[in-house]
Structure 1
C-alpha cells in the first residue's frame, strides 16, 4: 500500500487550487485523485467562465477569502502568462429597495470594498442594458471573470511540476480512519495510506461526508444559457462588464462574449437533483420562458433565443455557507458545499486551506466550520 502525507480528493475548482498550494509548500508528499479528468465539462468547471465578484452581498465574513482570491488569481495570471482572471468590472443592476442591492451596499460599507453607485450619466456608458423603472447600477471595479478550464488545468500542471502525483479516472469509494491516526483511501483500482485527507469533490463530496453532516447538504442543478448578439462588438470584455441583475421579475447574471459571438446568461437559481451523476442537461419550458423574457426586457441588442445551454451539479448546504474545516464525524478536512459561490473564491480557499493543514496559518473562515451544524 502506497503511503503519502496528503490526499486531495477532487481536482476541480477548489481541489486544483489546494493541491497546487500544498505541493508548492514542499511540506510532504501530495496525491490528488480525480474521478474524471480535471476541468471535465459535466462538473462545476463546465461552462467556460465564472464570474468573479469582489463586492459581495453575502456578508463581510467572505472579505478575507475574496481578497486572498483576487491576489491569487492575479498571481496565477503572472505565473502562467495567461489571462485566466480577466478584470472587466462588475455591474449590479436593480432597485435600491431590493434586498440584494441593500445587502451589497451594507457589506461594502463594512468591508471598504470599492463599489460605487453610478450616476445617470455614467450608467449610459452601458447602453447594452435596458434599465427598468427605478433601476440603479452599482459598479465593482475589481469584478471580472475566470476562464475555468485554464484555471484548473494550469493549477494541476503547476502542482505536478512541484512534485504532486495526480491520478485521474479513478473514483474514491471510501475513506477509513485508522486507529493509529491517518486514513486509508480506497479507490476503484487502488488503496492508499494517507496522513491526512482533504475532500474537495464538489457535489460528489456528499457520499464521502459523515452521515450526520450529509443530511445538511444536497446536490443541485445549475443551468447556463448562451445568446446571440445583433451587435457583437458591444459585448466584448473591454466594453461589457460581468453583471448581476435583480430587477423586479428578473434575477439573472452573465458574462461578456469571450468568443466574440455569444454572451452567457443564467437564471440565479439552483434546483435540487437526485444525484450529481444524473443532471438534466436540457432546459424545461419554465426555464426557457423566464430567461428569454428576461433577455428581451433587459437588453437592447441581445437576441432573445437560446443558442446553447449546459448544466452542472453543485453541492449546497442548509445555510448556504461552505464547509471548510474538519468533518466532526470522520475528521477529514472539507473544502466543499460552496452553494454556488465556489469558483470565484477557490484560489483564496486553496491558499488558506493549505496554510491551515500544514500549520503555517489559520484558514480564516471559522464561519464555515462544519461543526456549526452540531452546536446546541
Structure 2
C-alpha cells in the first residue's frame, strides 16, 4: 500500500483546486477522477461561469469569494493561462427586492465597488435589456467571466508540477475511514491517506451513502442565443447578469467565445430532478429550452429566442441552498466539499483551499458554521 497526506476524490472544480493547493503546500497528494480532465459530464463545463463579489447569497460567502478572487489571480500568474475576463456584472430587480438588498449588503460587507442604476440609467447604458419601469441594477464593474475548463486544467497542471499524482478515468470502488485515516480501493489496489477530500460533485453521496446527506441532483441545461448585432453582446458592452423582477427570472453571460450569449432560467423554472447523476446523459429537448426561450423573449428583444446551441449540465443541491464544507463528526478523516447548488464555481478556488486548510491544519480562518455538514447529520 502507498500512503499520502491527502487524497482528493473528484478532480472537477473543487477537487482540482484542492489538489493544486495541497501540493503547493508541500503535502503528498493523490487525486482520482472517474472521467477525463475538465470533462463535460458534471457541473463545470460550457466555457464560461460568472464571477461576482456581490454574493447576494449572504455575508458568510463574502470571505470565501474574497479568497477566491486572490487565488484566481494567483492561478493566472503561476500558470500563465488567462482564465478570467472582466465584463462587469449586474444584479437587476426591484429596488426594495431581496436580490438588490442582499447584493448591496454583501458589497458593503466586502468593500466591493458598485454603482446603483435606476431603470432609466440601466436602459441608457445597456439597451440590450428590456428593463421594467421599477427595476434597478447593482453594477459591479470588477465582475466578469471565468473559463471553467481553463481553470481546472491550469490547477491540475500546477498540482502535477508540484508533485501531485493524479489518476484519471479511474473509478474509486471503496472508501473506508476512521479517525486515523482513510483506505481507498481502486480495483484490487488500496491507497491510504491521512485525510481525504470528497469533491465528487453530483456523484457526492455515492462514496459516503452511510452519512445520508440530503443532496439532490437537478438538471440545469446550458443554452446559448445570438443576435443580429453580435458586438452588442460581447463582454465589452454586455455584462454578466442575475435578474429577478416579477416574471423575469434568469441569469446570463456575454458572448466570450463566439457561441453566443449563455442564458439560464432562474429558480422559478421547473427543472427536472434526477435519480442519479448518471441519468443526465439524455439529449436536450423542449422541456430544457422552453423556460429559457420564454425568458429571452421577454428580456432581450435583440436576441433570437431560438437557441443556437444547448448542452446538459446539472447541480448538486442542498435543502437550504448553502454549500456543504467541513469535517463531519461521524467521519473525522474526511473533508466534505459538495452541495454547491448552482452557485459554486466562482468560489471553487477558495473552497479547494479551505478544504486543504481542514485536511492539513484541522481548521480554517474562514468561518464555516453556515456550511457545516453536521447541520444535516444532527450533530451541529
Q: Give TM class, smaller chain.
A: over 0.9
Note if 1:165 corresponds to 2:165: yes
Deviations 1:179-220 (A, max 9, x none): 7x2111012353211111110110111112252442x21122
Per mean C-alpha deviation after superposition, the further-off stretch among 101-110 and 189-198 is 101-110
User: How far does the alpha carbon of each residue in 1:232-279 deviate from its partner, in whole angstroms, 9 at most, with x for none?
Assistant: 011111111111111221211111111235111011245421110011
Map of 1:298 onto structure 2: 299
Contact 2:91-2:99 at 8 Å conserved across structures:
no
Structure 1 contact 198–334 (Cα < 8 Å) conserved: yes
Give the match for residue 290 of structure 2: 289
**Counterpart check, 1:249 vs 2:250:** no
1:265 maps to which residue? 263
- Report matched runs for 1:185-204 at 5 Å: 185-188=184-187, 190-204=189-203
Once residues 187 and 328 of structure 1 are traced to their aligned partners in structure 2, the CA distance between those partners, rounded to angstroms, is: 26
The superposition leaves residues 335-372 of structure 1 with CA deviations (integer Å, 9 ceiling, x where unpaired) of 11111121100011122222332228615122211112
Q: How far apart, in 1, do the equivalents of 2:320 and 2:30 lie?
A: 31
Q: Is the contact between residue 92 and residue 245 of structure 1 (CA under 8 Å) also seen in structure 2?
A: yes
Tell me the equivalent position of 1:370. Answer: 373
Mark the runs of 5 or more structure 2 residues left unpaired by the alignment. none
SS of equivalent to 1:3:
strand
CA contact (8 A) 1:176 1:183 kept: yes
Q: Report the CA distance shift for 1:258/1:144 in structure 2 as closer, same or farther (over 3 A).
A: same
* Structure 1 residue ranges without an equivalent (≥5): none
After TM superposition, the structure 1 stretch with the greater mean CA deviation from structure 2, 363-372 or 284-293, is: 284-293
Alignment partner, residue 361 of structure 2: 359
Structure 2 length as normaliser, TM-score? 0.92
Aligned counterpart, 1:277: 278
Deviation at 1:281, TM superposition (A): 4.4
TM-score, normalised with respect to structure 1: 0.93
The structure-2 alpha-carbon separation of the partners of 1:234 and 1:25, relative to structure 1 and needing over 3 Å to count, comes to same
Moved more, 48-57 or 155-164: 48-57
Alpha-carbon distance, 1:25 to partner: 0.5
RMSD between superposed Cα atoms in Å: 2.0
